[in-house]
Amino acid sequence: MTVTTESPLARAEAAARVISSKVPVRPTVALILGSGLAGVVDAIQADLQTSTAELLGSPSTSVAGHSGKVIVGRLSGVRLVVFLGRIHLYEGHSPEEQTLPVSLSSLLGASVLLLTNASGGINPDMVPGDLMVISDQINLTGRTVIPPGTNLPGVGRDVYDRTLADLLENAATASGVRVHRGVYAGGLGPSYETAAEIRMLRRMGADAVGMSTVLEAIAGRRLGMRVAGVSVITNLATGISSGKLSHDEVTAGAASAGANLKAGLAGFLSELGALEIQMPRMK
């Protein structure tokens, strides 16, 4: 199932043909899972499972907690395509390469893009294990992305869909999970922020910080998808926590908090299934 064509658009189109030939029913939702969050979809009824690297001809991720698999199936009554992990800019990949799963999902017909990540909490009201529904973002990567096949100059005022954000927050609350609404700051990485940088981010309006998500959200919005995002607060950011941060701590925190995301996600998908007819693509 290896895709060897060179351009990002051609590779995404070839991968979409492969999936469509094996699973003719189109997915409604594309779900990208962050560090250590693969267990969130362990109950998925899979019709197809392969590696993202094999499907898209992309290099495998070198980051622990990102298995690099793609699954097409059904969860909570909703058809979806799921990417278990992602590649990152700091691994040496281009924005177009990093957002290939988004381009593929759009070609498959998914109208909703749900992004998740493991992040450090900046807002003092947050504790590890909490969820934060992303209301807006700060792109600190120094990059942007125009997905192959589009030429749109901007993403509009709202990157994140407010209706989807409400559904996510309500679903998490109904599941008994602590949930916040806030701004996600996505940096280049791979180093963690200094205490001074965290103070700067807080003054800029950021509530949580990580090293992903922002370009995927831009790509999805430019492709006309309705974008939603959830940060799993796995640790407190530097200067708020007295400990020394490590990726092992982040993935361990994600694994322990995954049950909260799983509960919220199940409720969200159930509600989304009922509203599916009302979720057309953006224009």
Active site residue 211: yes
Identify whether 204 is a catalytic site residue. Answer: no
Query: What separation in angstroms does the CA of 36 have from each of 62, 97, 177?
Result: 14, 21, 19
Burial of 91 (0-12, 13-18, 19+ CB in 10 A): middle
Write down the catalytic residue from 13, 14, 88, 160.
88
Residue 69 backbone zone (phi > 0: left; psi -120 to 50: alpha; other: beta): beta
In the annotation, is 35 catalytic?
yes
Q: How far apart are CA 241 and CA 105, in angstroms?
A: 37
Which of these is catalytic: 58, 66, 193, 257?
66
Active-site position among 15, 38, 110, 211? 211
Instruction: Catalytic residue, from 12, 14, 16, 35: name it.
Output: 35
Known catalytic residue at 180: no
**What distance in Å separates the CA atoms of residue 139 and residue 194, rounded to the nearest whole number?**
18
Helix (H, G, I), strand (E, B) or coil at 184: strand
Parallel, antiparallel, or unpaired for β 112-121 and 45-51? unpaired
Among 16, 30, 110, 118, the active-site one is 118
Question: Known catalytic residue: 88?
Answer: yes
Q: Is residue 263 annotated as a catalytic residue, yes or no?
A: no
Query: Of the listed 160, 235, 255, 263, which one is catalytic?
Result: 235
Identify which of 225, 200, 220 has the alpha carbon closest to the alpha carbon of residue 140: 200
51, 67, 91, 279: which is the annotated catalytic residue? 91
Catalytic residue among 103, 106, 119, 212: 212
Catalytically annotated residue among 46, 53, 60, 90: 90
**Is 184 in the active site?**
no
132 is catalytic: no
Catalytic residue among 247, 252, 259, 282: 247
Integer angstrom CA distances of residue 209 from 85, 141, 166, 198: 17, 12, 21, 9
Instruction: List the catalytic residues.
Output: 35, 66, 88, 90-91, 118, 211-212, 235, 247
